Structure 1
């Protein structure tokens, strides 16, 4: 039984994509600093590679590849769930800060008029 080169190429793409997603997911879970620009670049590149690899696949996929794609789906779901959680937290913090700024401005503490007053001659 020969190995399909398209399947081998797809396996490599899936390895890199899964590695990137796992790196991001672990960093989010453990609250480690992460270069999100680099992660985004790696995910974009993996998406491009994946779309190219899928075009070369045969019409039917073997069981091992289907299982691998199911594992990738689980990895993507875990990553998405953590990203959604962090995004919701960031939105909540932004809302709290926005409300604090509005409250501070409304009591006149940071009024624009204070900065434009001129001293009497």
Structure 2
């Protein structure tokens, strides 16, 4: 097997893994409470690292037309993933802010807080 063929085979394997991870994450994020986003992100990061290593090894040689199409498709999946992860992070931040606000309001319910009590003059 020549170097170009070997690079295409490695690229195809990494792209298959990456597509699988992205499809699964895009499908489950924000919908499945048991989805392990941390594990998915680790797998996605590993795929992207491997993809970067392959791209460096190729050293400006062109990939096959099939590989180029799959790279373009993976790029589209990454754009969709970025949008979904961003929406998920925004939702988590909004819920966190609601909880913080509710806690502040509960502390300011007309009773003395620990901080107010500490500085009260007797």
TM-score bucket of the superposed structures, by smaller chain: 0.7 to 0.9
TM-score scaled by structure 1? 0.80
TM-score, normalization by structure 2: 0.80
The answer to whether the 8 Å contact 1:104/1:110 transfers is no
Corresponding residue of 2:17: 16
What number of residue pairs does the alignment pair up? 114
Quote the RMSD (CA, aligned, Å).
2.3
- Deviation of 1:75 (Å): 0.7
Deviation at residue 49 of structure 1 after TM alignment: 1.3
Q: For residue 36 of structure 2, what is the aligned residue in structure 1?
A: 35
CA distance in 2, matches of 1:110, 1:18: 55
Unaligned runs of 5+ in 1: 117-121
Alpha-carbon deviation of 1:44? 2.2
Where does 1:79-90 land on structure 2 (aligned, <5 Å)? Answer: 79-90=81-92
Change in 2 beyond 3 A, CA 1:101/1:66: same
* Residue 109 of structure 1: how far off its partner (Å): 4.6
Segments ≥4 residues shifted beyond 4 Å:
none
Contact in 1 for aligned 2:25/2:40 (Cα 8 Å):
yes
CA 1:110/1:64 → structure 2, altered by over 3 Å: closer, same or farther? farther
Q: Is the 8 A contact 1:25 1:79 kept in 2?
A: yes
- Distance in 2 between residues matched to 1:109 and 1:36, nearest whole Å: 41
